Structure 1
Amino acid sequence: MNIGQRTSRFYYGWVVVGVVFITLLVSAAINSLPSVLMLSLEDEFGWDRGSVSAAASIRILLYGLMGPFSAAFMLRFGIKRIMILSIALLVVSILFTPLMSEVWHYIVLWGVLVGLGTGSLANVLGVSVANRWFVKHKGVVIGLLTASAATGQLLFLPLLAQATEAMGWRFSIYLITGALLLLIPLVGFGMKNHPSDVGKPALGEEHVEKPVPFTGNLFTTPIKALGSAAKSGTFWLLAGTFFLCGFSTNGLIGTHLIPACGDFGIPIVIAAGLLSLMGLFDLIGTTFSGWLTDRFDSRWLLFWYYGLRGLSLIFLPYALGMGYTQLLIFSVFYGLDWIATVPPTAKLASDAFGKEKAGMVFGWIIVAHQLGASLAAYGAGVVREALGSYTVPFVVAGFLCLFASLMSIRIQKARKLSAGVAA
């Protein structure tokens, strides 16, 4: 029996979870801001939509690509240090935003620098914390931290829109900068890298264990982890289903629900409110998904999540045409399932490829997610221009989700896969 656990019933890992939760919420607010700024920047500087969108495209790509490399940096330098450096990078890039005068300034600041900063404060951060601090309740922690990122983006969207409309886009910039500055002392004093830093084991373990030193190359080790994982069919099934997850969530609904509502005469404030409502129910659904992940077979959870999401997307064109009540039903149902897929996907990756490699491997799975999101964000817009409706993209995404549900039950239970990756 561990003495630390006898002397105190409070587990410091929950403080770490709180710090990371707040950090991911603020990071999510940053990710939601470009869509709010787009029209204001076009009006003030005369920039065209394509140039402004280029920054968003680069940011989305880097947000995904940073995952596996961020995991390696956290292993080498510690989670706390990487969090502070990422927040500092975001502060610098956002503070320079009011000084920009050319579109390439915006692309560098909000495409490259913000993409690098937010990409280091993404799902890999939550998975890394959960793997280090928790054996018991790991699924709940992953669900809670994952939900904070997606929920924050959806919840902050209408708030930042109102602030920009009332006070101007620069006010929103300063508001976000202030929130980031408050994060630095919070992370500096509250964050710990590993349970051994407070003399305790991970919750659910008996003995205090020191973290395994990271000895590989910071840039080639994530690529080697990808090469090892790619030999497993489990990796491709997880990456494939997550590709379709991104395609059907932030790529499609997150990008195109508001303009789709506009096609039916639904005001933008109401459409943004629907996304905000999804964010609220996402927090409930994804956290509950983590609880389920601790207790049930993750493969069958994914089967139901993707299947139900597919049915809801097929229902969406009907809901748009029928009115607010049907859209409200869709928003609640879809919000519960928004990213409920993350906890079981992360658990399957951790079980298959080992705790130490899980962050980097899951980072590559997130890359697949972002590629799917990018394809949907662009492709749905092209189809809408060609056909004059979002019906085909929504229905196609629904059937792809049904296919993802069948892919999920093809995933094998972890046996000796982790040994192959660690070799």
Structure 2
Amino acid sequence: MTGQLHWAWLVAAVSFITLIGAAGFRAVPSVLIDPLHEEFGWSRTTISAAVSINLVLFGVISPFAAALMDRLGMRRVVAGALVLVAAGSGLTVFMTASWQLLLCWGVLVGVGTGSMSMAFVATVTGRWFVRHRGLVSGILTAAGATGQLIFLPLVAALATAQGWRVPALVVAGAALAVVPLVLAFLRDDPSDVGTTALGATGTSVPLVVTGSSAARAVRVLREAARTRTFWLLAGGFAICGASTNGLVGTHFVAAAHDHGMPHTTAASLLALVGIFDVAGTILSGWLTDRLDPRVLLGGYYTLRGLSLMVLPALFAPDTQPSMWVFIIFYGLDWIATVPPTVALCRNRFGDAGPVVFGWVFASHQVGAALAAVGAGAVRDVRGSYDLAWFIAGGLCVAAALLSLSIRPIRDPSRVETRR
């Protein structure tokens, strides 16, 4: 305890700040597609490939990072990840060839942000919270939207006024500024400060992990992959990634600009998605503590799919009322899927839940990567993003069906080990 404040809330606050940074760092390339295309002449497909590498690694690294946190602790892993992000972003100012973009924004920033992804949320809430677990999952997930809200307008304004190198250096400095907070205040387990998880009724026993973290991550995947639930969750979350980070997060600004909207206006609209996502994701966390998460996912995906199908008709040189409706509606649904997905992983897979969610989140980022490259290719070939929006909308309806196909669990203490 710190006075009357439980240590869990302090850990959650530091985690929130860290996740704000991770989301903001990863969102920057979407604003720089046109500036990089204009300066270097690289195609949008090439630039989107760097975003795709970033998205894939952001997901694929997640389960390994979760396993590494079990062995080395969250504080060491997160601090190292922030340094890696700073290096990747800072080195981009020296780029002269497209492969360097793939290395810096793709590999270095992808690995760094992937170590602070949604599996980090599952680890923090699993170790530090029993009461309010769903709510805190929603709050920490909303940090991603808050990071987007802070960084996107700033990056767009700086890139327009000063060129794209200035925002790249801002990202590097911001990542380094978070490191002291992580080292000073993030704690790996309640026992480190002589307390228990918030709402716990007994003495907490720290999870002790020996052996290779990578081997444990692979072993958890092998066991989870034997279950039907894992594949239904992974399939739905892959579509979630394709319809958010991969398509809207990467290409919304460029698509709006195709219809005559200024980059700064389009970036501000995308940031507004983040404002409403904060409310939507926190509400989703609150609902997850009270309702069947399978039903929540089915509703979220259905509504998202319908909104994407009408989006092509809403683009215009200025912001019409119908676009404001889309921004509000889509924002509320943006990543509301995370709290119920985390809850399903925890309920079905027990202590391995954070690592399982890491693998489910990896599928999210694979879907995002495919959508990022695919939408860029659609734009290059057809001269319009319209087909990409329609495909994504149809896939979201399929994700709703996958989520509703997950069998209800009658015994909350049961952990799935087989089909």
Give the TM-score of the pair, scaled to structure 1.
0.91
In structure 1, the partner of 2:326 is 330
**What's 1:75 paired with?**
70
User: Is the contact made by 2:44 and 2:380 (CA closer than 8 Å) also made in structure 1?
Assistant: no
Q: 1:166 aligns with which of 161, 178, 186?
A: 161
For 1:191-270, what aligned pairs fall within 5 Å after superposition?
Answer: 191-270=186-265
| Structure 2 residue 335 is matched with structure 1 residue 339 | yes
**1:313–1:93 CA distance, 2 compared to 1 (3 A):** closer
CA distance in 2, matches of 1:207, 1:361: 25
What is the correspondence of 1:112-151 to structure 2 with a 5 Å cutoff?
112-151=107-146
2:415 pairs with one of 408, 414, 418: 418
Q: Post-superposition shift, 1:378?
A: 2.4
Structure 1 spans left out of the alignment, 5+ residues: none
Q: Write the distance in 1 (CA, Å) between the matches of 2:403 and 2:306.
A: 16
For residues 10 and 20 of structure 2, what CA distance do their matches in structure 1 show? Answer: 15
Please give the per-residue CA displacement for 1:23-53, whole angstroms capped at 9, x wherever unaligned.
1111222112223344444555555545444
| Aligned match of 1:299 | 294
Distance change >3 Å, CA 396–CA 178, structure 1 → 2: closer
Letter in 1 for 2:339: P
Query: Which deviates the most, 40-49 or 74-83?
Result: 40-49
How far is 1:346 from its partner? 0.6
Indicate conservation of the 8 Å contact 2:52/2:373, yes or no: no
Secondary structure of 1:253's counterpart equals helix
Q: Structure 2: how far apart are the matches of 1:89 and 1:154?
A: 23
Residue type matched to 1:340 in 2?
A
In 2 relative to 1, CA 404–104 (structure 1 residues): closer, same or farther, beyond 3 Å?
A: closer
* Residue from 1, 8, 12 that aligns with 2:7: 12
Q: Which residue of 2 aligns with 1:351?
A: 347
Deviations 1:158-177 (A, max 9, x none): 21111122233332233222
The correspondence for 1:188, drawn from 183, 190, 208, is 183
1:201 Cα deviation after fit? 1.2
Give the stretch that moved more between structures: 410-419 or 393-402: 410-419
Matches of 1:123 and 1:198 in 2, distance apart?
A: 24
Superposition deviation, residue 196 in structure 1: 1.2
Correspondent of 2:101 among 95, 98, 106: 106
Alpha-carbon spacing, 1:163–1:266, altered in 2? closer, same or farther (3 Å) = closer
Instruction: Quote how far apart the aligned CAs of 1:387 are.
Output: 4.4
Query: How far does residue 396 in structure 1 lie from its aligned partner after superposition?
Result: 2.9
- Structure 2: runs of 5+ lacking an equivalent: none
**Quick one: distance in 1 between partners of 2:57 and 2:195?**
35
- Cα distance, 1:82 vs structure 2: 0.5
Write the letter of the residue equivalent to 2:57. L
Indicate the percent of aligned positions where both proteins have the same amino acid.
46
Question: Shift of residue 203 of structure 1?
Answer: 1.1
**Residues 195 and 219 (structure 1), Cα distance of their counterparts in 2 relative to 1, 3 Å cut:** same
Read off the aligned partner of 1:65 and give its amino acid letter.
V
Deviates more, 1:220-229 or 1:406-415: 406-415
1:91 aligned onto 2:94:
no
Q: Do the aligned residues in 2 keep the contact of 1:24 with 1:121 (CA within 8 Å)? A: yes
Match status 1:59 vs 2:38 = no
Q: Distance in 2 between matches of 1:256 and 1:23?
A: 25
The two structures, once aligned, show a CA RMSD in angstroms of 2.2
Could you tell me whether the CA contact under 8 Å between 1:63 and 1:122 is conserved in 2? yes
Change (3 A) 1:378 1:171: closer
CA contact (8 A) 2:48 2:372 kept: no
Asked whether the equivalents of residues 34 and 254 of structure 2 are also in contact (C-alpha less than 8 Å), the reply is no
Q: Does 1:366 align with 2:361?
A: yes
What SS does the corresponding residue of 2:85 show, helix, strand or coil? helix
Deviating above 6 A after TM superposition, structure 1's stretches of 4 or more consecutive aligned residues are none
Structure 1 residues 162 and 254, CA, compared in 2 at 3 Å: closer, same or farther? same
Cα distance in structure 1, aligned partners of 2:416 and 2:402: 24
Question: 2 CA distance for matches of 1:217 and 1:334?
Answer: 41
